[in-house]
Chains A and B, each alone.
Chain A
């Protein structure tokens, strides 16, 4: 899409293609206008290469002061619209100042690009990667073309992955021991565990396990926290008695989770929590929240 700065009609078409565009996996992203498009998927340390094609329209010729392509990694805070913070910026000069009067193709390559952070689209913040082609012009404005791509980074299974086991309660009311088999889960993992009732003096109606995402942006006095409940999974229907053990088996694949992001570039964090909720007959809620780490496992096929 052309972004016109200072002119009304497009003077040329810029297309960006990737060298391995046909073989590379594509994933959908939602654009600002609500449309969903498929874009290529990369991971950190990969080479990003391809071609730029500039085709002038209607016999016009494009005079320019240079053509360049930039690879940008950006964090955008929504409460600070338009304020992009580039954490990665790489540039390749494609052409010296001159004229383009017929279709011209320029190859580009960024090798072994450090892209330490994943693409993230959140409530108050987003992190994106984009290729930006700029045809510089003094007057009439530069012509710019963007191509998004997604970056996902994979982590191997953690060496240490302790279970979460804890006893909690309210004195004389309710004592439970809950156990989740791991503290770190990958995106297609299963939470396996159980809830054991040590003391039940209230009339429980049911029990749910929620997955909550807490996105915190900014720092200090400007910290914004957005919490979203991504999953509400019923674990138990009805009132248990002391000694009952209720199994947990929660598959993560149906939910739109992302890996845990801790303090990305000191700008934002995305953390995940398991929230065990018990509701009594009078709709009072008793809960216990526990943080888990979510990571992305390399895909096997």
Chain B
């Protein structure tokens, strides 16, 4: 292979040398106005292009040099014409050349001057040139020759408003010329596929790829003709181009040209010819990557729709959505071997399209999702990451478009699509959903919607089948659950009854979460409930004891049970905190028994579950702090609780802790703003007790370490 490349370099160098040498003589002839010699040397120069030894890439280099030289020759011809030499004679003269390739290059060059001179109608010359080029049946040489024809004729087409337009010459002729050149070029291009030995197929396809823009250029020129309006496109251009695309039966050509058509012509035209364009798709070779073609089309149309609201009615008028979804369905049906990734990509594009064009039509959106479900059902749960990524993209699109989970919840097929994700991706998707909610601060205001939402995010809420706990990274898990926790804020209704429903629904789901999740999920639930309670506090007078309606009592009951659930984790410290929070709330609601019950539960936890000394200290201070703020308790209850608290204080492991706890308790006996709690004696008792402990601590310290830690205790006591 390397040898071949070197050989090619050699041949190219030789070709360039030959070309340049003849060009030199040609220039000499031009300078001395010697037409005969100019033609002779130019023909010789062009003979270098007859080579079969160069790959398209190298041939192009040779061609470009010839091209440049021919420009100079063209100028000479123009001069000759101006000096009275008959262009018609020149047109004949160049046809005397014995070899066809140089002959035709010269003919096209003279033809260019001929058209410019207006001595003949442009269409006649163009027609003659495009016909005569049929003499070159060699693909590479033919493609370059016709490309040359295209280039020199480009500015001489009888387009509307061009100087070459006449009574007989119209844009119809220009179109005819371009279509014919395109058709012949495509035929040559396709022919390359079958030339040469089978083992060189890859090389041939690469060479074909290098040449494809020569073919596509014709479509570009067509697209730029002023005179190619919608009618012309619809009646003539598109049918003829598609005819060639379909009939050539070549995968590479079909894929490239379909894409070309979509990119080159205006979106407005595509809309109006949607049926024709889509109709060609099933007729293409099965190996053509039709999904990419359709995706491109839909993407363009989506952008078109997004560009201005005025175009949207057009989409409705041509029934774009139904045509596209039918086309996609047909393609998926026809290509049974299409991988899931492909099908999902198609639906994804269709979904994007629908969201852009018919955002109000949730039924369309749901339809697309439904079709996707149907296809997925034949495949089962997905394994490959490409497909899952694509499905995540598919599901994210409505979220981004609507910025409102509530709308998305209305899509009945949405959760069904999620079913097909593997567990991990399911959770990823759930996070995406939650993020969307948080970003848009969407409020989910009914229990029904909450249920729907939780159905979607169930992967985060509980263990799904096949979950392996070891799989999950700790960090990730924390992230997940924190997301869920934050989500609770958005579940809110102004109506207390509805809010209670919501809370019950959430609770129900959370309780299925398992011991690892509860520490994350229960607290926000509790706080949400407490919020509701606070709200109800203000309204309590209005609500007259209806059984069904929400009441603080009911909620506290619920809370009690909820916090109890933490015992399976176990999360005693957390539970204790929560109990105390509830107690405080109950305090504010004047519900003494409820508050007392919460304290009882807290004390039970303290006594039975909290064993670590540090934890005890923290817990105790919490208890004391909370208790101090309670005003709802009657004397008896308060006494019991206080007594117990002090008792706990004295039993703490470390003396300094004890001391601190005890003097903290002193505050329990004196609350400035409550007359009933001003028991100076008990305060003194506490302080004295604290002092005793401090002394003992000091003594112990002197014996063991001799530190001055205990001195601070005295100071603290004084401060108290």
**What A residues does B191 contact at CB under 8 A?**
241
Q: Which residue of A lies closest to B195 (CB)?
A: A239
Are B100 and A249 touching (Cβ within 8 A)? no
Given the known interface contacts A238-B141, A241-B191, the answer about A246 and B135 at a Cβ–Cβ threshold of 8 Å is: yes
Contact of B136 among A233, A238, A249, A253 (CB under 8 A): A238
Are A247 and B135 touching (Cβ within 8 A)? yes
Is B466 among interface residues, defined by CB-CB distance under 8 A? no
Given the known interface contacts A241-B191, A249-B95, A251-B92, the answer about A236 and B100 at a Cβ–Cβ threshold of 8 Å is: yes
Q: Which residue of A lies closest to B194 (CB)?
A: A241
Task: Sort chain B's interface into a size bin.
Answer: 20 to 34
Is B137 among interface residues, defined by CB-CB distance under 8 A? yes
CA distance A247 to B133 in the complex (A): 9
How would you classify the secondary structure of chain A's contact residues: helix, strand, loop or mixed?
Answer: strand
Are B96 and A236 touching (Cβ within 8 A)? no
**What B residues does A236 contact at CB under 8 A?**
100, 135-137
CA distance A251 to B97 in the complex (A): 10
Q: Which residue of A lies closest to B96 (CB)?
A: A254
Is B131 among interface residues, defined by CB-CB distance under 8 A? yes
**What A residues does B138 contact at CB under 8 A?**
237-239
Given the known interface contacts A238-B142, A247-B132, A251-B92, the answer about A232 and B137 at a Cβ–Cβ threshold of 8 Å is: no
Are B137 and A240 touching (Cβ within 8 A)? yes
Given the known interface contacts A251-B92, A251-B95, A251-B96, the answer about A237 and B134 at a Cβ–Cβ threshold of 8 Å is: no
Is B216 among interface residues, defined by CB-CB distance under 8 A? no
Is A244 among interface residues, defined by CB-CB distance under 8 A? yes
Are B92 and A235 touching (Cβ within 8 A)? no
Are A235 and B100 touching (Cβ within 8 A)? yes
Chain B stretch 142-198: residues in CB contact (< 8 A) with chain A: 142, 191, 195
Q: Which residue of A lies closest to B145 (CB)?
A: A237
Q: Which residue of B lies closest to A206 (CB)?
A: B100
Least CB distance from B200 to A in Å reads: 16
Binary A-proximity of B81-103 (CB < 8 A = 1, otherwise 0): 00000000000100110111101
Is A245 among interface residues, defined by CB-CB distance under 8 A? yes
CA distance A234 to B141 in the complex (A): 15
Most buried by A among B99, B101, B195: B99
Are A234 and B96 touching (Cβ within 8 A)? no
Are B137 and A239 touching (Cβ within 8 A)? yes
Binary B-proximity of A239-267 (CB < 8 A = 1, otherwise 0): 11100111101010110000000000000
Least CB distance from B251 to A in Å reads: 18
Are A245 and B134 touching (Cβ within 8 A)? yes
Are B137 and A238 touching (Cβ within 8 A)? yes
Are B141 and A237 touching (Cβ within 8 A)? yes
Least CB distance from A162 to B in Å reads: 24
Chain B stretch 50-94: residues in CB contact (< 8 A) with chain A: 50, 92
Are B101 and A247 touching (Cβ within 8 A)? no
Is B139 among interface residues, defined by CB-CB distance under 8 A? yes
Least CB distance from A299 to B in Å reads: 17
Chain B stretch 110-137: residues in CB contact (< 8 A) with chain A: 131-132, 134-137
**What B residues does A247 contact at CB under 8 A?**
131-132, 134-135
Given the known interface contacts A238-B141, A238-B142, the answer about A246 and B98 at a Cβ–Cβ threshold of 8 Å is: no
CA distance A254 to B141 in the complex (A): 27
Least CB distance from A301 to B in Å reads: 15
- Count A/B pairs, Cβ under 8 Å: 51
Least CB distance from A276 to B in Å reads: 14
Chain B stretch 452-470: residues in CB contact (< 8 A) with chain A: none
CA distance A245 to B134 in the complex (A): 8
Contact of A235 among B96, B131, B135, B195 (CB under 8 A): B135
Are B98 and A237 touching (Cβ within 8 A)? no
Are A234 and B98 touching (Cβ within 8 A)? yes
Are A246 and B95 touching (Cβ within 8 A)? no
**What B residues does A238 contact at CB under 8 A?**
136-139, 141-142
CA distance A249 to B103 in the complex (A): 12
Least CB distance from B263 to A in Å reads: 30
Given the known interface contacts A232-B98, A247-B131, A247-B132, the answer about A237 and B92 at a Cβ–Cβ threshold of 8 Å is: no
Q: Which residue of B lies closest to A249 (CB)?
A: B95
Are B100 and A237 touching (Cβ within 8 A)? yes
**What A residues does B96 contact at CB under 8 A?**
251, 253-254
CA distance A80 to B95 in the complex (A): 41
**What A residues does B139 contact at CB under 8 A?**
238
Least CB distance from B54 to A in Å reads: 15
**What B residues does A232 contact at CB under 8 A?**
98
**What B residues does A233 contact at CB under 8 A?**
98
CA distance A241 to B138 in the complex (A): 11
Least CB distance from A288 to B in Å reads: 18
Are B95 and A237 touching (Cβ within 8 A)? no
CA distance A251 to B132 in the complex (A): 14
**What A residues does B92 contact at CB under 8 A?**
251
CA distance A235 to B141 in the complex (A): 15
Given the known interface contacts A237-B101, A238-B142, the answer about A244 and B134 at a Cβ–Cβ threshold of 8 Å is: yes
CA distance A241 to B194 in the complex (A): 12
**What B residues does A234 contact at CB under 8 A?**
98-100, 103, 135
CA distance A233 to B99 in the complex (A): 7
CA distance A3 to B92 in the complex (A): 47
CA distance A244 to B183 in the complex (A): 13
Chain B stretch 623-665: residues in CB contact (< 8 A) with chain A: none
Least CB distance from B419 to A in Å reads: 53
Are B50 and A237 touching (Cβ within 8 A)? yes
Least CB distance from A38 to B in Å reads: 21
Least CB distance from B290 to A in Å reads: 27
Q: Which residue of B lies closest to A238 (CB)?
A: B138
Q: Which residue of A lies closest to B100 (CB)?
A: A234
CA distance A247 to B100 in the complex (A): 11
Chain A stretch 206-239: residues in CB contact (< 8 A) with chain B: 231-239
Are A237 and B131 touching (Cβ within 8 A)? no
Least CB distance from B439 to A in Å reads: 61
**What A residues does B100 contact at CB under 8 A?**
234-237
Least CB distance from B98 to A in Å reads: 6
CA distance A224 to B309 in the complex (A): 89
CA distance A235 to B50 in the complex (A): 14
Least CB distance from A9 to B in Å reads: 46
Q: Which residue of B lies closest to A234 (CB)?
A: B100
Chain B stretch 33-50: residues in CB contact (< 8 A) with chain A: 50
Q: Which residue of A lies closest to B50 (CB)?
A: A237
Q: Which residue of B lies closest to A233 (CB)?
A: B98
Are B137 and A237 touching (Cβ within 8 A)? yes
**What B residues does A239 contact at CB under 8 A?**
137-138, 195
Given the known interface contacts A238-B142, A249-B132, A251-B92, the answer about A244 and B137 at a Cβ–Cβ threshold of 8 Å is: yes
Chain A stretch 110-153: residues in CB contact (< 8 A) with chain B: none
CA distance A251 to B137 in the complex (A): 22
Q: Which residue of B lies closest to A245 (CB)?
A: B134
CA distance A234 to B195 in the complex (A): 22
CA distance A239 to B92 in the complex (A): 26
Q: Which residue of B lies closest to A232 (CB)?
A: B98
Least CB distance from B698 to A in Å reads: 112
CA distance A238 to B99 in the complex (A): 12
Least CB distance from A257 to B in Å reads: 14
CA distance A240 to B191 in the complex (A): 10
CA distance A254 to B93 in the complex (A): 9
CA distance A247 to B127 in the complex (A): 13
Least CB distance from A126 to B in Å reads: 28
**What B residues does A253 contact at CB under 8 A?**
96
Most buried by A among B50, B95, B103: B95
Can you report 22 residue pairs joining A to B where beta carbons are below 8 Å apart?
A234-B100, A234-B103, A234-B135, A235-B135, A236-B100, A236-B135, A236-B136, A237-B100, A237-B136, A237-B138, A237-B141, A238-B137, A239-B138, A240-B137, A241-B191, A244-B137, A246-B134, A246-B135, A247-B131, A247-B132, A251-B95, A251-B96
Q: Which residues of A contact B (CB under 8 A)?
A: 231-241, 244-247, 249, 251, 253-254
- A234-B103, A246-B135 known, 15 other contacts, Cβ within 8 Å: A233-B98, A234-B98, A234-B99, A234-B135, A236-B137, A237-B101, A238-B137, A238-B138, A238-B142, A239-B137, A244-B137, A247-B131, A247-B132, A247-B134, A254-B96
Q: Which 5 A-B pairs have the closest CB atoms?
A: A238-B138, A238-B137, A234-B100, A240-B137, A254-B96
